[in-house]
């Protein structure tokens, strides 16, 4: 029997504040260790080359570099989310990352030179770097490795979050119906029958509605379980995934919000924001805001933003039969 995961592991994917502290702490530790080891290595190299510099100089070289890298990490995170690297996108997105590594090196070099000039000026000295292109080529050999390791860490971290959070997929999608075969033509027609048939336009068959998933299979760590589509309280667009919020838990489905909503019942699921959609049956209360937007309080205790652009769609969805949970929507500003 598999031992249950610790409570913090189960909570980690859903607690954004906890995740943010862990992510910031991770990069702070990595950069601090890098500064310490690189500074010691530089001191040893300078001593071996019999170069005399002040003790603070190698330290400031590494600190200035680490500060610029720390400032660039959020940009790398955003870029990697836009150009995700996985098996299906590698050939298309890899050239963009090669270009991004060159931009990364340019910004890194310019930023740390600026900090070094400022640091040397504060110490009453002047900083004399080498030529720009010579230094750029030298730094790029290091920065391309730094950029690659950063992206690799982000890809690995996203995979870990998927394992902890749970990734969903549609279960047993029905196959599209097979169109009926056309009847065989008779061997011969009279001239009158042929003339009559030529004047009749064939009636195009009515396309069958797209199948809607009723269940989803969720894989989380070493467990698998099913969730019903009707149990989804609300949905959120998350880069190349859709977050399914079910009974206080979040599960990711590889899709865009727009595409996935076409598979759900439009009488039950309504888009209320550029990045959010809700199950009308899961709304407990709607709180209008002075800006024209609204805040949706869900039955599971969570809140979902509703932009005024989508409030009309929500109002149309609120015209439910008497006795439903949505009867009072027309009384609160919708």
Going from the N-terminus, what domains does the chain have, and what CATH number goes with each?
7-165 (no CATH), 215-331 (2.40.50.1020)
pLDDT at residue 194 in the model: 56
Dihedrals φ, ψ of 244, to 5°? -95, 120
* Weakly modelled stretches of the chain, pLDDT under 50: 1-3, 174-175, 320-333
Q: What is the mean pLDDT of the chain?
A: 81
**Secondary structure letter of residue 200 according to DSSP:** S
Q: In this structure, how many other beta carbons lie within 10 angstroms of the beta carbon of residue 99?
A: 10
What are the distances in angstroms from CA 129 to CA 41, 116, 117, 126, 188? 19, 9, 9, 10, 93
Does the pTM surpass 0.75? The reply is no
pLDDT at residue 235 in the model: 92
pLDDT at residue 40 in the model: 93
pLDDT at residue 146 in the model: 94
Q: Is 300 within 8 Å of 245 (Cβ atoms)?
A: yes
């Amino acid at each position: 029997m598999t031992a249950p995961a610790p409570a913090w592991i189960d909570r980690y994917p859903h607690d954004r504040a906890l995740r943010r502290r862990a992510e910031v702490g991770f990069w702070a530790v990595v950069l601090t260790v890098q500064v310490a080891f690189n500074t010691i290595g530089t001191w040893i190299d300078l001593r071996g080359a019999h170069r005399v510099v002040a003790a603070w100089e190698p330290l400031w070289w590494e600190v200035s570099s680490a500060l610029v890298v720390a400032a660039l990490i959020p940009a790398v995170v955003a870029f990697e989310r836009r150009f995700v690297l996985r098996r299906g996108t590698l050939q298309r997105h890899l050239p963009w990352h090669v270009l991004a590594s060159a931009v990364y090196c340019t910004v890194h070099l310019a930023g740390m030179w600026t900090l070094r000039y400022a640091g040397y000026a504060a110490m009453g000295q002047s900083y004399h770097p080498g030529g720009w292109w010579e230094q750029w080529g030298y730094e790029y050999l290091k920065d391309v490795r730094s950029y690659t390791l950063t992206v690799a860490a982000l890809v690995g971290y996203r995979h870990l979050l998927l394992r902890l959070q749970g990734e969903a997929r549609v279960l047993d999608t029905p196959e599209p119906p097979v169109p009926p075969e056309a009847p065989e033509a008779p061997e011969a027609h009279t001239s009158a029958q042929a003339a009559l048939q030529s004047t009749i336009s064939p009636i195009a068959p009515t396309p069958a509605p797209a199948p809607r998933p009723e269940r989803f299979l969720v894989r989380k760590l070493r467990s698998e379980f099913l969730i019903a589509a009707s149990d989804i309280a609300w949905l959120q667009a998350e880069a190349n995934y859709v977050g399914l919020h079910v009974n206080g838990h979040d599960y990711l489905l590889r899709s865009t919000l727009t595409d996935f909503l076409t598979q759900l019942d439009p009488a039950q699921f309504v888009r209320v924001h550029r990045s959010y959609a809700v199950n009308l049956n899961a709304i407990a209360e709607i709180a209008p805001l002075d800006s024209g937007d609204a805040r949706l309080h869900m039955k599971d205790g969570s809140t979902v933003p509703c932009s005024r652009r989508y409030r009309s769609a929500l109002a149309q969805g609120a015209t439910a039969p008497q006795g439903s949970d949505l009867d009072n929507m027309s009384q609160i500003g919708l």
